[in-house]
Amino acid sequence: MKKILCIIGIVTSLAAGSLNCRADDVALRTGDSLTIRIGGVPVDEINQISGIYTVDGKGDINMPYIGKIHAGGLKQADVQQSIETAYKSGGIYTTPVITISVQFDRLVDVEGDVRVPQRVHYTPDLTLLGAIAATGGLTDYADQTKVEILRNGTRTLVNIKKVRQNQVPDPTLQPGDKVSVPRSFW
């Protein structure tokens, strides 16, 4: 399984010949593992703070000396800044430098009447047509008028024919979305 490693301030390739992704393009969410490193502090303190932290169910990470820092829904740079500010304002460190990296494995499921139903790797610019193209396209029996996007329990129907004719916009997908292409009955 391909994984994307986006590090603050570094642009990395998703796959050979594909779009580049900046870490700041994707908001953090529950379950994400963050590798947090600290600099600008006494050497013996580096190992006490640097490590792997997981965003909990409330969207927080629990940091030594400062407690919970909210990370869910925020970009990596925002969390980095929050941690640095908390250490400074708490009088714990005067010049902490925080670096965060996240191993992303964000996917979109595409099922139904597509050539190769599969999980497609999420990129910030992934659209419905792009996800369908990544699965080899629609089969000859696909119902293009009732393609369904399931996101957080909400179903949205999309008419692919209208998207291709530029009558409606091509919906941008989110990590965890499920795309279902039904079979036509005629």
Q: What is the structure's pLDDT at 88?
A: 97
Closest CA to 83 of 96, 102, 101: 96
Q: What is the structure's pLDDT at 20?
A: 38
Instruction: Kindly report the CATH class assigned to 4-104.
Output: alpha beta
- Residue 165 makes CB contacts below 8 A (sequence gap 6+) with none
CATH 3.10.560.10 in the chain, residue ranges: 107-181
What single letter denotes the amino acid at residue 69? I
Q: Is 168 helix (H, G, I), strand (E, B) or coil?
A: coil
Q: What is the structure's pLDDT at 33?
A: 86
Q: Give the Cα separation of 14 and 36 in Å (integer).
A: 22
Q: Which CATH number fits domain 107-181: 3.40.309.10, 3.90.1570.30, 3.10.560.10, 3.10.20.70?
A: 3.10.560.10
pLDDT in tens, 90-146: 999 999 999 998 876 678 999 999 999 999 988 889 999 999 999 999 999 999 999
Neighbours of 154 (CB within 10 A): 7
Tell me: pLDDT of 19 over 70.
Answer: no
Q: What is the structure's pLDDT at 11?
A: 28
Neighbours of 76 (CB within 10 A): 26
H runs (alpha helix) in 31-177: 43-49, 76-89, 128-134, 160-164
Backbone angles phi, psi at 11, to 5 degrees: -90, 130
CATH 3.30.1950.10 in the chain, residue ranges: 4-104
Name the least confident of 17-21, 33-37, 120-124, 135-139: 17-21
Residue 109 C-alpha from the chain's centroid: 14
**How large is the average pLDDT for residues 9-33?**
52
DSSP annotation of 23 reads G
